[in-house]
Amino acid sequence: MADMAEEVRALKREKNAVVLAHYYAPEEAQAAADFVGDSFYLAKAAVQTDADTIVFCGVHFMGESAKILNPSRRVLMPDLAADCAMAHMAAEEQIEKLRAEIKDLAVVCYINSTAKIKSLSDVCVTSSNAVKIVRALPEKNILFIPDQNLGGFVAKQVPEKNFYYSGGYCPVHAVLLAEDVLGEKRAHPAARVLTHPECTESVRAVSDYIGSTAEIIAYAEKSGAEEFIVCTEPGVLYELRARCPGKKFYPAAPECLDMKRNTLAGIRECLLRGCGEIVMDEAEMKGAERPLRRMLELAE
Ligand code: 13P
Ligand code: SF4
């Protein structure tokens, strides 16, 4: 592994490439990355880089968003089959129907979505900027797609607006039950419960803090508590343990197997051979660019 990590470092220099990794990627990918972060941070890193090649260790919509926001770069993924199931959970017909029926409506699209779904939306959001962006929109009515759990979390904090949902969810976070979390709390009574907003309302209700992966990590680092139950994909434990030596973390949610497709061998392979390239047609990119750029503007 040490040899392969060295080979990846040499290939990055040779190809003028950067590696971006989400906190859910395997530890070996996070260790090899130049930028590690949540979806919002990585989208901004993709815009700002002047490297010729971006190797994106995440799921397909993340690679797509990087390509759309920085189209002159070559975007490679260690495994193009790494997909987010929730990204497909919004129906075009429902968006069109509600647009026709409801006046003063904004379609707000979680970045965990296909480029096609983004192109039907007014603005994209991530879990770390959704509340701020929805609050800033002039529209009173919000169709929040595809994640009904993140949408419900935002709705609680923006009570002045009406929310509609498409019924999508993250299969990784949605299987976590409040009973499981309460069981963990009984086993570790001093632990604080840190939860991603993709978890269900009943899990969020028994949590001490709700935030994106980056926000969960920042909270644990600042907190005076010593133990934490982590209600999000356990890949975050790598950064949590690095930033909070001595603190204890108990993972409660299952792994996202798609994120785990981003192996070090895959990174080496795509740098070496240029395989796993994100290729999109012009119209698809243009349609999704508008709501993504609006997200970047409104989040600042
Ligand atoms: P973040 O916005 O925290 O990066 O979450 C992305 C994601 O896919 C969560 O499942
Ligand atoms: Fe998609 Fe859920 Fe995996 Fe995040 S954890 S990439 S939302 S399937």
Q: Which long-range contacts (CB under 8 A, 24 or more apart) does 286-289 make?
A: 287/115, 287/116, 287/118, 287/119, 287/120, 288/64, 288/65, 288/68, 288/115, 288/116, 288/118, 288/119, 289/68, 289/69
For residue 100, report the distance from its CA to the centre of ligand 1, in Å: 31
For residue 197, report the distance from its CA to the centre of ligand 1, in Å: 9
Ligand 2 pocket, mutate which of 173, 200, 231, 262 (most atoms under 8 A from CB): 173
* Extended beta strands in 24-127, E state: 35-37, 53-57, 74-76, 105-110, 123-125
Q: Which ligand is nearest to the CA of 87?
A: 2
Which residues have CB under 6 Å of ligand 2?
Answer: 59, 84-86, 112, 170-173, 198, 233, 256, 258-259
For residue 286, report the distance from its CA to the centre of ligand 1, in Å: 24
Residue 21: enclosing H or E segment and its boundaries? strand 17-22
Does any ligand 1 atom lie closer than 6 A to the CB of residue 38?
yes
Q: Whose CA is nearest to atom 8 of ligand 2?
A: 84
Question: 229 - beta bridge partners?
Answer: 193, 250
Ligand 1 pocket, mutate which of 30, 38, 153, 216 (most atoms under 8 A from CB): 38
The conformation of residue 191, written as its DSSP 8-state character, comes to: P
**Size of the chain in residues:** 300
> Could you tell me the sign of the dihedral formed by the alpha carbons of 261, 264, 269, 271, in that order?
positive
Atom of ligand 2 nearest to the CA of 256: 3
Query: What pLDDT, in 10s, does the model give residues 79-113?
Result: 999 999 999 999 899 999 999 999 999 999 999 99
At CA 190, angle to CA 186 and CA 192, rounded to 5?
95
Q: Whose CA is nearest to atom 8 of ligand 1?
A: 112
Does any ligand 1 atom lie closer than 6 A to the CB of residue 198?
yes
* Extended beta strands in 136-283, E state: 141-145, 162-165, 192-195, 209-210, 227-231, 248-251
Q: Which ligand is nearest to the CA of 169?
A: 2
The conformation of residue 147, written as its DSSP 8-state character, comes to: B
* Structure-token pair, residue 57: 């260790």
- Cα separation, 3 vs 131, in Å, equals 44
For residue 27, report the distance from its CA to the centre of ligand 2, in Å: 17
Q: Under 8 Å CB-to-CB from 254, ≥6 apart: which residues?
A: 172, 175, 176, 233, 234
For helices 213-222 and 236-243, give the axis angle rounded to 10 degrees.
20
What is residue 168's three-state secondary structure? strand
Q: Which amino acid is at 95?
A: I
Query: What pLDDT, in 10s, does the model give residues 110-136?
Result: 999 999 999 999 999 999 999 999 999
- pLDDT tens, residue order, the chain (300 aa): 779 999 999 999 999 999 999 999 999 999 999 999 999 999 999 999 999 999 999 999 999 999 999 999 999 999 999 999 999 999 899 999 999 999 999 999 999 999 999 999 999 999 999 999 999 999 999 999 999 999 999 999 999 999 999 999 999 999 999 999 999 999 999 999 999 999 999 999 999 999 999 999 999 999 999 999 999 999 999 999 999 999 999 999 999 999 999 999 999 999 999 999 999 999 999 999 999 999 999 998
Does any ligand 1 atom lie closer than 6 A to the CB of residue 184?
no
Q: Pairing state of beta strands 123-125 and 105-110?
A: parallel
For residue 257, report the distance from its CA to the centre of ligand 2, in Å: 9
